[in-house]
């Protein structure tokens, strides 16, 4: 683990309680997980799926309920424990299915038809080398689902205004405002402009995937307001354009381009990409 990976790891170990508390069934995160799972169910029903950066398992649960063969991995053992608990009764052998991510070692010795990295890119230092790591996890012709956070979003600005107008201001408010404006996240300490800002719009995100052999087949944009986000999958042209410009989170669905059709599921791969 590099020192920076260690910082991200300890940040998430510390933040796990707060994130899990904010991830209740009525939360924005639960809604996002449900809509992403519905989209994947339309694109690759019943696939063998890796939920990478699974957190407390919101998406894993939504996928398991839709009949997917779900596996998960995360850098935080606290998050993994929560994901195992959340999927108990829905998936067999949760202890085996949810594994710790350790450095660049693949968490499972096979590839997946679908790999999802939701809410992880802002915490990744080097997107290009992370793409190579992800490419080693996805089957040829597989689907990669990933998100980034837009710093110039309505949500980030609303958070800035509400922090500025609070009296007395909470401790660390200057740092939080800086974080929001440079990364769109409260937690800029480990997600500052240097890496969170590597992709700051939909086009640069799509280019990152295109350079690495992936073609975008669909997308969802979220404001981080459940009332507005319920419609995320059914917006008209103008609604989509507004959400793409001002929404807080963009989720892209990318297909690996090397084959025109997905191969048989659960292909066991040659292990040459493993360390
Ligand atoms: C914002 S949370 C999102 C959790 C979940 N994907 C969801 O949508 O609810 C980010 C998660 O990614 C994990 N994470 C951050 N960097 C990671 C990495 N390099 N590999 C695996 N997990 C990572 C964190 O521990 C945390 O659980």
On the CB side of 209, how many CA atoms lie within 13 Å of its CA? 23
For atom 13 of ligand 1, which residue has the closest CA? 53
List pLDDT tens digits, range 124-134: 878 888 999 99
Which pLDDT score is estimated for 188?
61
The fraction of the chain above a pLDDT of 70, given in percent, is 87
What span, in angstroms and rounded, lies between the C-alpha atoms of 139 and 275?
18
What span, in angstroms and rounded, lies between the C-alpha atoms of 216 and 41?
16
Instruction: Give me the residue spans of the domains in the chain.
Output: 5-151+187-261
Greater pLDDT, 17 or 158: 158
CATH architecture assigned to 5-151+187-261: 3-Layer(aba) Sandwich (3.40)
* Residue 99 Rama label (left phi>0; alpha psi -120 to 50; beta): beta
What average pLDDT does the segment 185-207 reach? Answer: 69
Which pLDDT score is estimated for 271?
29
154 pLDDT more than 90: yes
Atom of ligand 1 nearest to the CA of 9: 25
Mean pLDDT of the chain: 87
For 148, the token pair is 């980034």
Any idea what DSSP says for residue 56? T
Q: 61: Cβ below 6 Å to ligand 1? A: no
Q: 59: Cβ below 6 Å to ligand 1? A: yes
What band does 2 get if pLDDT is binned at 50, 70 and 90? very low
* Residue 153 Rama label (left phi>0; alpha psi -120 to 50; beta): beta
The fraction of the chain above a pLDDT of 90, given in percent, is 65
Greater pLDDT, 272 or 219: 219
Which pLDDT score is estimated for 203?
86
Which pLDDT score is estimated for 153?
93
Which pLDDT score is estimated for 48?
98
- Which of helix, strand or coil describes residue 35? helix
Which pLDDT score is estimated for 39?
98
44 pLDDT more than 80: yes
265 contact partners, CB below 8 Å, separation of at least 6? 47, 48, 113
Q: How close is the Cα of 187 to the center of ligand 1, in Å?
A: 13
């Amino acid at each position: 683990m590099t020192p920076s990976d260690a910082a991200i790891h300890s940040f998430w170990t510390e933040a796990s309680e707060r994130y899990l508390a904010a991830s209740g069934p009525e939360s924005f995160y639960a809604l996002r997980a449900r809509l992403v799972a519905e989209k994947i169910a339309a694109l690759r029903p019943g696939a063998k799926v890796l939920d990478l950066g699974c957190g407390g398992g919101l998406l894993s649960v939504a996928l398991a309920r839709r009949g997917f063969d779900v596996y998960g991995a995360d850098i935080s053992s606290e998050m993994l424990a929560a994901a195992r608990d959340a999927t108990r009764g829905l998936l067999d052998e949760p202890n085996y299915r949810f594994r710790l991510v350790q450095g660049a070692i693949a968490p499972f010795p096979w590839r997946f038809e679908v790999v999802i990295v939701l809410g992880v890119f802002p915490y990744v230092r080097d997107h290009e080398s992370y793409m190579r790591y992800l490419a080693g996890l996805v089957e040829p012709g597989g689907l990669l689902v990933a998100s980034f956070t837009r710093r110039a979003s309505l949500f980030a600005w609303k958070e800035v205004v509400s922090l500025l107008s609070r009296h007395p201001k909470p401790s660390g408010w200057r740092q939080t405002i800086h974080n929001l404006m440079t990364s769109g996240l409260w937690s800029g300490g480990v997600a500052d402009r240097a890496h969170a800002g590597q992709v700051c719009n939909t086009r640069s995100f799509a280019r990152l995937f295109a350079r690495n052999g992936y073609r975008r087949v669909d997308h969802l944009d979220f404001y981080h307001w459940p009332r507005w986000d319920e419609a995320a999958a059914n917006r008209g042209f103008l609604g989509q354009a507004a959400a793409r410009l001002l929404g807080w989170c963009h989720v892209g669905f990318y297909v690996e381009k090397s084959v025109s059709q997905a191969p048989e599921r659960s292909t066991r791969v040659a292990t040459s990409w493993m360390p």
